[in-house]
Structures are given as structure tokens and as C-alpha cells.
Amino acid sequence: MKIRVVEYAGTIAAPGGEAPGDLPQVAFSGRSNVGKSSLINTLLRRTRKKIAHVSATPGKTQALNFFRVNDDFFLVDLPGYGYARVPQKMRDAWSELIEWYLGESGRVKGVVHLVDARHPPTKHDIRMVEYLSGLEVPTLIVLTKVDKLKTMERERSVPRAAEALGVEASQLLPFSSKTGEGRETLLEALDELLVEEEGA
């Protein structure tokens, strides 16, 4: 997949909201400060003029943000979760929005779930992967920030995450927003997902 055109297309702030069009949707999820905005900008080659807002304060994404890519699909940036300094009421609202979107909107063709490679998957990560498995939504798990790991740490990170999440190691993709490692592989995976959707 070659990224030609990317534009912000709209936002859903509450359950039941209307998507900005009928294109297939691929959602990106992950814990706050996992590097989701950086990954999206690297993936879409928007490192100078950033599309997804990178903030020093995790928890900035408070709604479902839609980005139209090549007029082929919507990349949907979900609110980060697990950030303790966000009020519980707001976290509950985000959870309700995400669960409605993934489970009831009927529009999600796949999910890219991000896990920080430097740490074992959190209980939130495990719960999300179990939830997606129950929904039978195609899911690719991306291990972010692999450039920050030493060789031995990196070798341990994939089997450790696979065991904790109960998935095959082949479902895990190491990624670095700094070096671009994993970008082409992730784009190929998205391409395959969208081709399967066309053929469905």
C-alpha cells in the first residue's frame, strides 16, 4: 500500500454517532502513552505535518477520530485507556464509546492494538485482546518502541507478550516510530485486510 492522500474526516464523540462515510474502517487502540499517535503519523508518513496529535499529556484523544486514507479506508484513532490521571467518569465514557464502536456499530473491519514492547502487557491489554477475540474482529498486535530495547530484551519481548495475551507470536509485529521499522509490514497487513473485505 502506498500512502497518497490522508485527511481528517470527522469525529464521533458519543455512542450512536454517524461515521463520515461508508469506507471500511480499521481501528487503532492502545493504552495511553503507548505511542499510538506517533505510530499513526509514521505509518501515514505525516511526521512533518502531523495528523494525529502527539501530546506530552497522555489521554488527549477523547473521541473516535477518523482519517480518510487514499479514499480507500478510514483509519480510526480510539481514545487511549488506563491513564490514571483522567477522571473516572471520563474513563467510563470512553469505555462506553469504545465498546459501542467495536461491538455494536458493525463497521469495524479490523483492529490494530498497540502494546509497549518495553513492558509486559497490562491487564487492560489482556482484557482488550480477549474482548476483540470474543467479537471475532481480525486483530493485529503491534509492539511499539522496540528501538528502545537492547537485543536480549527485544528477543524476550515477543514471546512474553504472546504468552500473556494468549496469541500466536505471528500475530505480533515489532514497530518503531523512530526508525520506521515495521511500517511496510503493517501497511501490507492493512492491504490484505482490505482486500479480504472487498472479496467478502
CB atoms within 10 A of CB 50: 13
What's the Cα-to-Cα distance from 41 to each of 8, 22, 29, 163, 168, rounded to whole Å? 12, 23, 14, 29, 27
One-letter amino acid for residue 65 of the chain: N
Q: What is the pLDDT of residues 16-57, one digit of tens each?
A: 999 999 999 999 999 878 889 899 999 998 655 566 655 444
* Cell triple for 60: 488527549
Q: Predicted confidence band at 164 (pLDDT cuts at 50, 70, 90)? A: very high
What is the residue-averaged pLDDT of the chain?
A: 86
- The CATH number covering residue 147 comes to 3.40.50.300
Euclidean distance between CA atoms 6 and 121, whole angstroms: 31
Question: Is residue 135 included in any domain, yes or no?
Answer: yes
pLDDT at 56: 45
Please list, in sequence order, all residues whose beta carbon lies within 8 angstroms of the beta carbon of residue 140, skipping any fewer than 6 positions away.
110, 111, 112, 113, 171, 173, 186, 189
Single-letter residue type at 18: E
Residues 108-131 pLDDT 10s: 999 999 999 999 999 989 999 999
pLDDT of residue 79: 84
Query: Distance between CA atoms of 179 and 113, rounded to whole angstroms?
Result: 20
User: Residues 20, 74: contact at Cβ < 8 Å?
Assistant: yes
Residue (of 82, 103, 111, 98) closest to 171 by Cα position? 111
Distance (Å, whole) CA 175 – CA 178: 9
1 in a structural domain: no
pLDDT of residue 77: 93
Residue 151 has pLDDT above 70, yes or no: yes
**Total count of domains within the chain:** 1
Contact call for residues 39 and 79 (beta carbons, < 8 A): no
User: Taking the CB of residue 86, how many other CB atoms lie within 10 A of it?
Assistant: 20
For 16, the domain range is 6-199
> Which residues is 77 bridged to in the sheet?
28, 65
Contacts of 21 (CB under 8 A, 6+ apart): 9, 68, 74
| Model confidence at 154: pLDDT above 80 | yes
Please name which of 118, 110, 27, 34 lies closest in space to residue 64, comparing C-alpha atoms: 27
